[in-house]
Structures are given as structure tokens and as C-alpha cells.
Amino acid sequence: MALRILETCINCDVCAPACPNGAISQGEAIYEIAPPKCTECVGHFDEPQCMVVCPVECIELDPSHPESKTELQLKFEALQREMA
């Protein structure tokens, strides 16, 4: 499942650099996560790094993008091929 950033985001700028897939960018009002690039850090870390560093805990699972760990791993592998 991809993650999403809630409107309680304070634009502190710590989540974007923590994302190994470059899935987080500044939106119009708050930071946003691009679901096609979000693997919940599967393939990189044991837990989503954006959630680890977020000081206001405004990042959660996005129920509109359900994915299994296997699907997230496949997405990670596809993203790695694209970057190569």
C-alpha cells in the first residue's frame, strides 16, 4: 500500500530527503507522495523512513492504493531497473 501525507503536514522538509525512491515532493500546500514510486521502503529499509522522521506523525497508509509486500517488492525491483 502506498503512503499518504495528511493535511496536518507542517512542511518541515524532513520526509522528502528520507525517501529512497524520490516519491515525496512539495505539493501546492503540503508534501505529497507519488503512489507509483512509493514502496513503503520495501527493498531499502524495514520500515518507511518518511514515517520514522516525521515529527508530527502525519503519514499513513493510503487505503486507495492497497498493495501486498510482494507487490511492493516487485515495484521496488521495477524502479531499480528504471534507475539503472
CATH of the domain at 21: 3.30.70.20
Which of the 8 DSSP states describes residue 25?
A: E
Residue 1 predicted with pLDDT over 90: no
Longest dimension (CA), the chain: 36
Between 1 and 20, whose confidence is greater?
20
Range of the domain at 40: 3-83
CB 24 within 8 A of CB 31: yes
Provide the pLDDT for residue 83. 85
The pTM score is 0.94
The neighbouring-strand residues paired with 24 are: 33
The neighbouring-strand residues paired with 3 are: 61
Q: Which helix (H) or strand (E) holds 37?
A: none
Total domains, the chain:
1
Which of the 8 DSSP states describes residue 20?
A: T
